[in-house]
Every structure is written in structure tokens, then in C-alpha cells.
Structure 1
């Protein structure tokens, strides 16, 4: 019978582990890199993994991804544990001694802490090789722009490490420190960035009637698009949200009436199916607004995130680990409005992601003063170790 009792990893992590993992997290925090630019971070990960003697290390996976593989001696399932490498284009505020040393960039979503958690699992695996199956520790690139998981999966080498289970966690401010949120079904919303360009013809500012201005169309489109969202709770299958994030009209000149405008809108729904309907509505609104004012238009999409749906068997695997660690579950927290490209692994494995509370007094994710709580490193590592023990030991 699988064993899941609390003492299967006695003394882990020890004081020396905690000090080393915390120091390493702070080193990552000082040197953030943006999506697709994580070369130095990936090298730090590779250097960290070396003393744990994985059977294989894949580098450059889907970009700068790193995957460490620990093989058992008997047949069994493959379990992938995933964290993220990338940081955000946000200037960090605060005076902590390990504050970001890179202007305009910061680990303000906690990916440095998630990496430290998997580093803790790697240290445990060095002394506790799986008896069966395999463990894959994936340090994934480019989560923040939604491209990383797709690129990892598209890498031909992914087929060699294709997992049976894919598990992940994300810290969550507002959730009590060390508590968890985990449910079967929708976990995170689908979203995408819609960039709209409207093109007319410039004119002298004294004779705007001789040009074709996008101003009126833009003024109609912004409330119209935001009005497409139903709002409400993400648990409602019909939840949708359209958020204007950027707008530009013309050039910064007083003598020129504008001939072009650009509008950025983030579309968000609980499911991929509802996203298709929201996209159709938004595109129809753009077509109508442009045609009414004699403008041409174009639409393209960026930061495309699939919906993230938790598999029931994978959820139970993580739930058993939470019970073994006496970690309280907070009901009614899922799905979250935010998006996660981890959902793509659900096409290839039984997958589940949980939220791990970083405290009710913690600054929100993506805030300039956010910082990952170091106390969660040990908690997260033990949760993942308990997941591995259930299937591979």
C-alpha cells in the first residue's frame, strides 16, 4: 500500500537545507530575467542540480527550460513537478538586502520561491532515489507571457520525458500563510491580449476635417469592449472580463490630428469555449466601429493562455499530500481569475495545480513591493515529496 504518513521524510528539510535554499532564492531574486531571456537563471538551476546527481538533465528545453530526471529501478509512473524561471518587467520597491539588482525587472510573482521549492525536492531526491517510475523536475521558461509551456511541449525531447502526472503550485497572497486551495475542475481562467489597430489619415490640427481620425471610434470602443464582460465570480461558467490595459492615439504633437490608434484589451473567461465566443463579439465590435468611421483595422493576439483544469486523480494525489502535512484547505478559492500556462500540460498528463497561501498581509502578486515568503520553501518541498512518496516509493 502507498505510504503517506508525515514521517516519511523525517528531518526534511533540515536547518542546513533551509539556509541553503533561502540563500539561493535570494540570489535568484537579485538577478531576475524576463520571459524568454532566462539564460543566467537556467545556468544557476543547472549548477544547483549537479550535486543532486540526476540521471539526466535537459537544458535549452523549449527555450531556456531545464528538466532534471531521477529514474527508479522498477516500472512505474512518471511524475513531473513544474516551476517557472521568469520574472516581470516591474521595478521592485523596498529596501530588502536581496532586492533586484536589475532596473525595471523583479521577481514579483514568486517564481524565485517556486524554484527554491523544487530545489528542495532535488536535494531530497539526491538521498532518496525513486524505487519505481521517474521524477521530472521542470524549470519552465516564459510562463508570464503564456508561451513557455507550449514551447516545452513542442520540443522533440519532451516526448522522452512525457509524464503520467504533472503537478504544480503557486503562492497566493490573501490566502492564510501555509494554507492551500485545491479543487477538481476549473483552476485558472483562459485569457489573451487583444491588440487593435485603427488606421485613418493624419491631418493638420487646424484642419482635422481633411483627415480620417480614429478618436471617435476609440472613444466608442473602450466602453463597448469592457461592457462585453459579464464579471461576477470566476466559478460562474459564464464569467468573462474585458480589461483595457493600454491605449494610444496619434503622435505626441500639437500640430497633427491623429491618423492611427492602438488599443490593448485583455479578454478573460473561465473556459476556452467561452473565450471563442468573447473573441467573436470583440472582433465584431472592432469591425463595426472601424467601418462606421471609414477606418481600416487589424487585430492580433498576444500572451494567449489556455484555461487550466485540474484532473480529479491528480487532485487526490495532491490532497493526500496536504492531509499528510496537516495543511488546511480553504474552500471556494478556485477558479482564480488569473491565468496559468500550466494548463497545457493537461493535454499530456493528469495534471493539477494548487495555491499555497503566502499570507493575508502579503502584498499582491505583481505589486512592486511583493516578496515571496521564505517560510513556504520548506512547506512546498514537503508537499511535493509527499506526492512522490505515494506513487514511487
Structure 2
């Protein structure tokens, strides 16, 4: 990549970084991406896919496979802590997962495709909304606009703090854990604080469930039995001294390597909650949000990435353990040979979702080159 091209993509990354939009609200980001794809002479630009998703198609006009490269549009509801001149200008929101960098890498691939279309088949550049909530990929694939561009091969990356800058990490098989947010609402009956016995308080149930649910999964080795339950929020009654509480709420994140283990963990957690509520004379309501199925890599797609790295001289290592964090990219693997790989953001780099995280611009040319090499190996 020329210094001029890198400088242009870096400026664009900084512009996107200043105006993050939350999951499902990526209106301006999507419009900007669509304009960038049109400026790169994409043969077709699709918008509004699964919400605010965008697809850029570069077609050879010849028979062949469809290869997709996927990235994400959304930011996070976190206040950024940064002295950078391009820091977020939106209070309480930040691109603190690196999706701004991922978008720019895929636009860098579009730069290459604008100069040289694939020799066969076509390339679809997917800019997916709402990754952070787990809803984006499901909605993208369910949209009627997806079926005509459904890929045979699909690739994505995520930058990874803790891994050496510019190093690629690959995993054949389970790549990202399944997870979901379990929301438990306990319903009793309020009473005067002077006469608590005349009400039905969920206090004991809440105090009991917090350690018991946390004890269902303590983490450990990332194998088929892995389970991690993390209590993230709890609320009891109202902020008053005069009323004995009549309701409580508890949020717990469930995490497993496999979808089968997740179903078992759900059954354990729901059984524990139901039994505790019944014992305490409480009604209970259980709902789920931020549902992510496990992400599993296709072995041949992983080999394609490894070969691309070898040809480019990009350091690449393999691991047998998936990442604990979740990714809805696994949805695309239901109908295509899919591979998610990780690109090192630096061993001492702030963690994803930290308020002082920032995507390393040095990764832009690495991501562009690896994606472009993958494309060349499949469609020329």
C-alpha cells in the first residue's frame, strides 16, 4: 500500500471514529460507507440490509464463487478517554472495539477491487450493523436483499489486544464463545418498611441467587465443558427507606464454547431461578438479550487465510482455544465456508471496550493485504 493510500484511509478512520453510532442506529455511518463504495466504482451498492447494513459488489461478469469480506458498523455506549485530536465527539459513545478500523480495512480492499476486478465470480463487501447486540448478522441474513448475494466463502477479522502488533492468530473449529444475557425479574409484594412481614420481599431470593448463579460456571479450560456465568447488574426495590421491596432484577451473562453446552447451562440457570422463586413465594419472569451463538471456523477457510499470510510474510500462529468474547459472525458460517481471524493490536494495548482503547492505524495495511490475498486466491 502506498503512503498516500494509507494516509487517506487513516484520515477516514479518524473521521469515522469521531462520530460513533450505537447498534441499530448506524444511519450516518452507513450512508458514508455507501458513498465511499460508490466512489470506488462498486458495480452495485445495496443499503438498508437488516437495518442499516451495506453491501458493495464487485463482479467479474464471469461464473465463479462469491467471496464476502465482512466488517461491523456500530460503536459502543462508553465514554471515550482520549487526548487524540480525533476522539469521539459524541458524549457517552465511542468506537472502543475497533469497528472504525475494520470498516476502513474493507474499504481498502475496495480500493484494490476498483483497480482490478476479480477474474471470476464476485466479491461482496459486507458492512454489518448491530454486531455488539448479536442482532445484526441474523437480521442481515434474513433480509431479502441477502439471498441474491449469499456468499460461498466469507471472511472477517477482529483486532486483538494482547497479541503482538500485526500478528495473525487462527483457530480451526470453535472460534468464539456462545453467550447471552439472562434477565431475571422477581415479583413479590411491597409493604410498609415498619411491617415487612405483610409483604413478599425478593431480598432473600436475590441474595441467594447472586452467588448460586455465579457458581454455575467459573470458567476454566476452554473446552466442551467450559461455562462462565457473570453477574453484571442487580436491583432491589426502590430508593426509599419507607417501603419494603416487592420486586428485584438480576442480570447474568452466560458463556460457553458450544451451543449444546449453552442449552444445558440455560436449563441449570432457569431451574435454579424457578426453584428459588417458588420457595420464596415469588413470581418470576426470565428473558434473554444479546444472544450470540457460537462461532465456528471452517477448516479450509482457515487454511486459505494461513496461505495468504505465508505468501505475504505476515506472522501467523494457530491456537486450539476459541476467544471468550462472542461474535455474531458465526451466523454467516451457516451457509458459507467461514473464517474469523484475529489481528494483533499489541501486547500492551488497552483491552477492547476499555475507555482508553483506540484502533492501531498500523494494522490498516496488514488487514487490507491479507483480505486482498484471500480474495486473489479464490477468484483471481
Instruction: Give the TM-score range, shorter chain.
Output: over 0.9
Alignment equivalent of 1:44, drawn from 24, 32, 36: 32
Q: How far is the alpha carbon of 1:190 from its aligned partner?
A: 0.3
Gap runs ≥5 in structure 2: none
1:212 and 1:112 map into 2 onto residues whose CA distance is 49
- TM-score of the two chains, using structure 2 as the length reference: 0.99
Q: Counterpart in 1 of 2:149?
A: 161
Q: How far is the alpha carbon of 1:334 from its aligned partner?
A: 3.2
Q: Counterpart in 2 of 1:179?
A: 167
May I ask how many residue pairs the two structures share in their alignment? 380
Alignment equivalent of 1:61, drawn from 40, 49, 53: 49
Q: Counterpart in 2 of 1:267?
A: 254
Q: 1:345-384, aligned counterparts within 5 Å?
A: 345-384=332-371
Deviation string, structure 1 residues 33-73 (Cα, Å, up to 9, x no partner): 00000000001101111121111110000000000000013
Alignment equivalent of 1:224, drawn from 208, 212, 216: 212
SS of alignment partner, residue 367 of structure 1: coil
Q: How far is the alpha carbon of 1:219 from its aligned partner?
A: 0.6
1:350 and 1:179 map into 2 onto residues whose CA distance is 23
Gap runs ≥5 in structure 1: 1-12
Deviation string, structure 1 residues 192-221 (Cα, Å, up to 9, x no partner): 000000000011111111110000000110
2:300 and 2:152 map into 1 onto residues whose CA distance is 11
What CA RMSD, in Å, does the superposition of the two structures yield over aligned residues? 0.8
Q: How far is the alpha carbon of 1:16 from its aligned partner?
A: 1.4
Alignment equivalent of 1:200, drawn from 179, 185, 188: 188
Q: How far is the alpha carbon of 1:230 from its aligned partner?
A: 4.3
Alignment equivalent of 1:209, drawn from 193, 197, 208: 197
Q: How far is the alpha carbon of 1:332 from its aligned partner?
A: 3.1
On the 8 A contact 2:172/2:320 being kept in 1, the answer is no
Q: How far is the alpha carbon of 1:292 from its aligned partner?
A: 0.7
2:203 and 2:342 map into 1 onto residues whose CA distance is 43
1:221 and 1:185 map into 2 onto residues whose CA distance is 34
Deviation string, structure 1 residues 157-187 (Cα, Å, up to 9, x no partner): 1100010001000000000000011121000
On the 8 A contact 2:190/2:200 being kept in 1, the answer is yes
Q: How far is the alpha carbon of 1:316 from its aligned partner?
A: 1.0
Q: 1:125 aligned to 2:122?
A: no
SS of alignment partner, residue 291 of structure 1: helix
Runs of 4+ in 1 over 4 A off after TM superposition: none
Q: 1:339 aligned to 2:326?
A: yes
Which range is displaced more, 73-82 or 135-144? 73-82
Q: Counterpart in 2 of 1:240?
A: 227
Alignment equivalent of 2:276, drawn from 289, 294, 297: 289
Q: How far is the alpha carbon of 1:329 from its aligned partner?
A: 2.1
- TM-score of the two chains, using structure 1 as the length reference: 0.96
1:334 and 1:375 map into 2 onto residues whose CA distance is 26
On the 8 A contact 1:358/1:373 being kept in 2, the answer is yes
Q: How far is the alpha carbon of 1:385 from its aligned partner?
A: 0.4
SS of alignment partner, residue 60 of structure 1: strand
